[in-house]
A and B are shown apart, each in its own frame.
Chain A
Amino acid sequence: MSKQPENYVLAKALTIVGLVLGALFAGLPVLWMLASSFKSNTQIFAYPPRLIDESFSFGPYIAVLTDPEKVRFFFNSYLVSALVTVFTLIVGILAGYSFSRYDFRFKKTLNLIIIGVQSVPPITLMIPYFGLIVVLGLYNTYWALILTYMVFTLPYAIIMMTGYFNTLPRELDEAVMIDGGTSFTILWRVLVPISLPGIVSVGVYTFMLAWNEFLFALTLTRTTDMRTVPIGIQLLMGQHSFEWNQMMAMSVLGSLPVLLLFLLFQRYFIAGMSAGSIKG
Chain B
Amino acid sequence: MKKLIVGLLVVVTLIATGSALTAQETVTLEFAQWWEPELPAGEFRALMDEFEAQNPGITVELISGPYSTTRDQIVAGAATGTMADVVGLDGAWVSDFVRQGSIANLTELMAEAGYDDSELAAQIQIDGSTYMIPVVNFVYPVFVNLDLLEAAGVESLPSTRSEFAAAASALTDPDNNVYGWVLPLSMEQPNGIQNDVMSWVWASGGSMLKDGRPYLVGNEDVISAVEFIKSLYDEGVIARGAFSLREQDKVEEFTNGRVGMMISSLAHINLIRERNPELNFAITALPAADDYDGPRGLPYASWGIGIAENSEHKAEAWKLVEFLLSADVNSRLASIANAFPGNVNSTPDFVQTDELFAAAFDVFQAGYLANEFTGLPVAEQLMREFNEPFQLYLDDEMSLEEFLATAEEAWNEHFE
Which A residues fall within an 8 A CB radius of B? Answer: 40-42, 44-47, 126-127, 130-131, 134, 139, 218-219, 222-224, 231, 234-242
Q: Are A47 and B67 in contact (CB under 8 A)?
A: no
- With a CB–CB cut-off of 8 A, which chain A residues contact B68? 234, 237
Can you identify 23 A-B contacts, CB atoms within 8 angstroms? A42-B255, A42-B275, A45-B253, A45-B256, A126-B76, A127-B79, A130-B80, A139-B82, A218-B65, A218-B66, A219-B76, A223-B63, A231-B65, A234-B66, A234-B68, A234-B69, A235-B64, A235-B66, A237-B66, A237-B68, A238-B37, A240-B138, A241-B271
- With a CB–CB cut-off of 8 A, which chain B residues contact A126? 76
Q: B252 — nearest CB in chain A belongs to which residue?
A: A45
Most buried by B among A47, A130, A240: A240
Q: Are A219 and B73 in contact (CB under 8 A)?
A: yes
Q: Tell me the residues in window 290-341 of chain B with beta carbons closer than 8 Å to chain A beta carbons.
A: 301
The verdict on B34 contacting chain A, using a C-beta distance below 8 Å, is: yes
- With a CB–CB cut-off of 8 A, which chain B residues contact A240? 38, 138, 265, 267-268, 271
Partner of B63, one of A219, A222, A238: A222
Q: Are B80 and A127 in contact (CB under 8 A)?
A: yes
- With a CB–CB cut-off of 8 A, which chain B residues contact A130? 76, 79-80
Q: Are A237 and B67 in contact (CB under 8 A)?
A: yes
Bound complex: CA of A16 vs CA of B200, how far in Å? 59
List 20 extra interface pairs beyond A47-B256, A130-B76, A130-B79, CB under 8 A. A42-B252, A42-B256, A45-B253, A126-B76, A127-B76, A139-B82, A219-B76, A222-B63, A222-B82, A223-B61, A224-B63, A231-B65, A234-B69, A235-B64, A237-B248, A238-B38, A238-B66, A240-B268, A240-B271, A241-B38
Bound complex: CA of A41 vs CA of B80, how far in Å? 39
4 closest Cβ pairs, A-B complex = A240-B267, A234-B66, A239-B67, A45-B252
With A130-B80, A134-B81 as contacts: A238 and B34 at CB distance below 8 Å: yes
- With a CB–CB cut-off of 8 A, which chain B residues contact A241? 38, 267, 271
Q: Are A134 and B64 in contact (CB under 8 A)?
A: no
Interface string of B31-61 (1 = CB under 8 A from A): 0001001100000000000000000000001
- With a CB–CB cut-off of 8 A, which chain A residues contact B67? 237-239
- With a CB–CB cut-off of 8 A, which chain B residues contact A44? 252
The verdict on B177 contacting chain A, using a C-beta distance below 8 Å, is: yes
Q: Tell me the residues in window 76-121 of chain B with beta carbons closer than 8 Å to chain A beta carbons.
A: 76, 79-82
